[in-house]
Structures are given as structure tokens and as C-alpha cells.
Amino acid sequence: MSSSSLSVQGLAKRYGDFVALAPTDLVVADGEFLTLLGPSGSGKTTLLSLLAGLVPPDEGSVRIGSQDVTYAPPYERDIGVVFQNYALFPHMTIEENIAFPLKMRKVSAADAKRRAREALEMVHLPHIAGRYPRELSGGQQQRVALARCMVYKPSIILMDEPLGALDKKLREHMQLEIKRLHREMGTTIVYVTHDQEEAMTMSDRICLMNAGRIEQLGTPADLYFRPRTLFVADFLGESNILPADLRTRVGDEVEVGVGSSGVSGRALANGHDLPPGSSVRVMVRPQNLAVARHGASAMGVPAVGVQGRVSEVMVTGSLTKVYMEPLDRNLPPLVAAFPTRNEADAVRIDDVLTLSWSGRDAVVIADTAAPAAGTA
């Protein structure tokens, strides 16, 4: 995991006036599973295409292993690409498809055949070697595309939304399958998706992209619990984002006053070193909000908190979600989630609730994207 298998420096791509990728640095460790996550148009597919050599960059460099491959064509890079629509060759059998990269590498026909069979066994499809792509289901085509990519053991595999066309159940199954293959092969994988759940389940690290830039790079937990920007907090999972004033610092936490009424609460400073009086945002995940009926005290946590009127209650199964309009008009609508309980103490619409949270479960986000040093 120590040596880097892929490193990118100042890589950028423009199409006319449109900045598809602003100068970007990125290092991927050997054997790592890195996900490029972001909304459409965020630059993740552009970055992947630049890594694959499918489009030339305007500036910057790409290194694979110890080799500079910035301007190398795809066939001279030691990579494999799994395309969104699989791009299986329709005029070749499954076995011919899988043997194709070996044939291009001048592997003898007998050897290629043997290795293609082995690859098919790895993806649990040994019986379909003689069929054509269009005779397979979506999930089977997906696995063949993986096998075709893994058969020649490239040092990096790039995957462009490989599960986008599959239904939910199959997608979850294939996520496990890809994780298993990743573990068994030890290949470095760079994976593109716009599905944040998929990114959370599969990745060692997530590279969240927005508007052609890396918004935050870190482990799934980093991005989920310690987002650096509003975009990250908003993009990954549901969140409550409350405007607040910073009061004092207490260890690695800070005390803040929330909303116009200044209800006090705590949150992790998350490395921000801001002077008291700064206006910030505090993010709390719905499942970390403690809910108490107005006036009652909630499970040992001080029963001071933001008050809200229930506008909608949704039982999603194991979780009940409660949507609220805060009584403080300067706060945005809030959502809390807790394990679904018996009806007896169920929350009803128009109930007024008090919401509180532990300082370990909330995090400070600088109010705007941290102002650049040069602007002052």
C-alpha cells in the first residue's frame, strides 16, 4: 500500500471556455480502491479519460508506476478500462473478447485460451465461453467486461460507472463481486460513480469532485463525518446544516450559538482555527439528533436545543424519519432519524420537539469555502 501506482500533477483539460478539469493533483497507492465521486459534469469522467489516455490533457502530467505516460496512447499504458456500457465486441465470442488483450500482447493462442477460461472461472461464468455478448444478461456482460480487464493483469483498472445500467439488487451483488476480485487480485482500481452509497461501500478512499475540482479526498468516514465544505456535507447522505456563531474553543470541540435565538451547542472544530464571533455552519447527521418532546428532558443530554414543529413523519422500515419546521425562522427545515419504535410514543404531525446533539457527532464547516489567503 506504500508505493504509489498512479500519480497526477497539475492535470487539466478545457473544452473551449469550459473547464472540464482544473489543475489537479492526485496520488493513488498501490492496491488501493479509489472512487471518483461527483455529480454529472463534475470532471470525474474527464479525469478518468485522461488517466486512460482517451483524451490528451492541456497541461500537467500522469505517471503510472515510474513511467511518465502523460501523452502515451491507451495501448502503451499498463491499464484496463471497464466502460459504462461494457463495450464488449459484438462480433466476437465471450472467449474471443477475453482473449483479445492477450492476442494484442502476442500471447500464444493456446495460452490465451487457457487464461481466458481461468478469467471466466474467476467471475463464475465458465459455461458461456462460446456465446456472443448480446446473448448475455446485463450482469453477465458486466462480469465478462471485468474478466476481459483482469485477464492481462494491468497495474491499474479504471472503471467508468460500471454498474450504472444494472438494477438495484444486481448492482449490490456486483459491488460485492468487484470488492472480492479487488481483494483477490490486489489491483489498483480507480472507480467512477455518481452514486454516493456505492462510493461509501466500496472505496478505500473517495475523491469527491465538483465543478472540475477535487472538493475533498479522504476515507468514506472522513467525508461522511468530517466534511470540509458544504458541498461535501450535502452530497454525501442526508444532513442538517445549521447557521451558527462560534463562541469558545473547548479542546478539539467548539461551542456555538445556533440560529438567531443563539441556542448553544457543541461541534468538532475539524481543524478549523477560527476566532470567536465567526459565523460558521454546523452539520449534524439525522441519526445523531436526539429528539425530545417539548419540555421533557432527553436521555441525559441537556434538554436545551433547537425546537421544531413536525411537518412529516415517514417510517422507512428500520428507521423513522421526522421532518420539522424550526420555530426559529432563520433555520432551514430539519430531519431527524431514529429506530422505529412502537406506536405508543409515536411522533405526530404538528408536535413540537426539541432537538439536541453531542459535540462528537456534529462538525463545524467554514461558512463559505475557506477564503483564499490572497483575497484580503
Residue closer to another protein (CB basis): 79 or 322:
79
State yes or no: residue 71 binds another protein (CB under 8 A).
yes
Shortest distance (Å) from residue 161 CB to another protein = 12
Cell 450504472 belongs to: 164
What are the backbone angles phi and psi of residue 290, rounded to the nearest 5°?
A: -90, 135
Distance CA 32, CA 205 (A): 8
Angle at 23 between CA 20 and CA 29, to 5 degrees: 105
Provide the grid cell at 114: 487457457
Shortest distance (Å) from residue 148 CB to another protein = 7
DSSP, collapsed to helix, strand or coil, labels residue 13 as strand
Task: List the 59-64 sheet strands across, edge first.
Answer: 18-29, 4-15, 59-64, 67-68
State yes or no: residue 44 binds another protein (CB under 8 A).
no
Shortest distance (Å) from residue 26 CB to another protein = 18
Shortest distance (Å) from residue 116 CB to another protein = 13
Distance CA 297, CA 284 (A): 20
Short-list 354, 356, 359, CA closest to 296: 354
Shortest distance (Å) from residue 181 CB to another protein = 17
One of 2, 18, 90, 300 touching another protein (CB under 8 A): 90
Residue closer to another protein (CB basis): 156 or 268:
156
Provide the grid cell at 309: 414543529
State yes or no: residue 108 binds another protein (CB under 8 A).
no
Region binding another protein by CB under 8 A among candidate stretches 75-83, 281-289, 299-307, 346-354: 75-83
State yes or no: residue 171 binds another protein (CB under 8 A).
no
Shortest distance (Å) from residue 2 CB to another protein = 24
Local structure of residue 298 (DSSP, 8 states): B
Cell 422500515 belongs to: 317
State yes or no: residue 152 binds another protein (CB under 8 A).
yes
Q: Which residues bind another protein (CB under 8 A)?
A: 52-54, 59, 71, 73-75, 79-81, 83, 85, 87, 89-92, 100-101, 104-105, 132, 148-149, 152
